[in-house]
Amino acid sequence: MTAQCFKASVLTLYPEMFPGPLGLSLAGKALGKGIWSLDVQDIRDSASDKHRTVDDTPAGGGPGMVMRPDVLAKAIDRASPPGEARPRLLMSPRGERLTQTFVKDLAAGPGAVIVCGRFEGVDERVIAARGLKEVSIGDFVLSGGEPAALALLDAVIRLLPGVMGDEGSAHEESFEQGLLEHPHYTRPKSFEGQDIPEVLLSGDHKAIERFKRQAAEELTRRRRPDLWAAYEQAAKRRKD
């Protein structure tokens, strides 16, 4: 049985930004093999006036412009008919933080419809009317949702079956076990006075795994106290 193709539909004012980096490396090869598909739609094609207007001034005053609900709703309906299983996502700095768990869940599904916001934002009514789930890639503001959409899709695509050469490599990555990934080393054995830790050259697999785990724990404790606290709580629950 052929695996279901992950279908990504991107709604944007700048369709020329896609596939961009997604057309290269692992994602590009997977796109060529049909492991995933990309449908990019220009939101301006859903405008009804000769100027293809997609925005208007914010109600109540304020700086900038807001994306119109009628135009965006029409674009969403074109890309995603009622009742479709794919989630509808809006890349937004006020959205739910993108996590590896969210990425894995998305990769296990049929695909996603991704709306790339611009200007000051999107009319709240279309967010509610079309069930858009707001997603953020971090606590910072971009000029538009396109770079965030590229990051989200890159994270998802690499987890699709058949994309990565070594499927097991994903299990040792950051966040998979609630920790940041352990440090990596390769040849030469000595580099500018620094040697590869001897344990990694010992051939003792249990000692190597222990070293990697301890290194990951120490790195997480120092760099991400929030992750470390959650990791400790999970460990305590398992022990109890």
Q: What is the pLDDT of residue 94?
A: 96
d(CA 175, CA 181): 7
Cα 204 off chain centre by = 36
Q: Are 92 and 121 in contact (CB under 8 A)?
A: yes
What are the domain boundaries of the chain?
Answer: 6-157, 174-239
Of the candidates 122, 69, 68, the residue with the CA atom closest to the CA atom of residue 92: 122
- The pTM (predicted TM-score) of the whole model is 0.91
Annotation: CATH topology of 174-239: Trp Operon Repressor; Chain A (1.10.1270)
The series of mean pLDDT values per 10 residues for the chain, 240 residues long, is 81 98 98 98 97 97 97 98 95 96 97 97 97 97 97 98 76 78 96 97 97 96 96 90
Q: What is the pLDDT of residue 167?
A: 62
Specify the CATH number of the domain 6-157: 3.40.1280.10
d(CA 186, CA 184): 7
d(CA 116, CA 146): 6
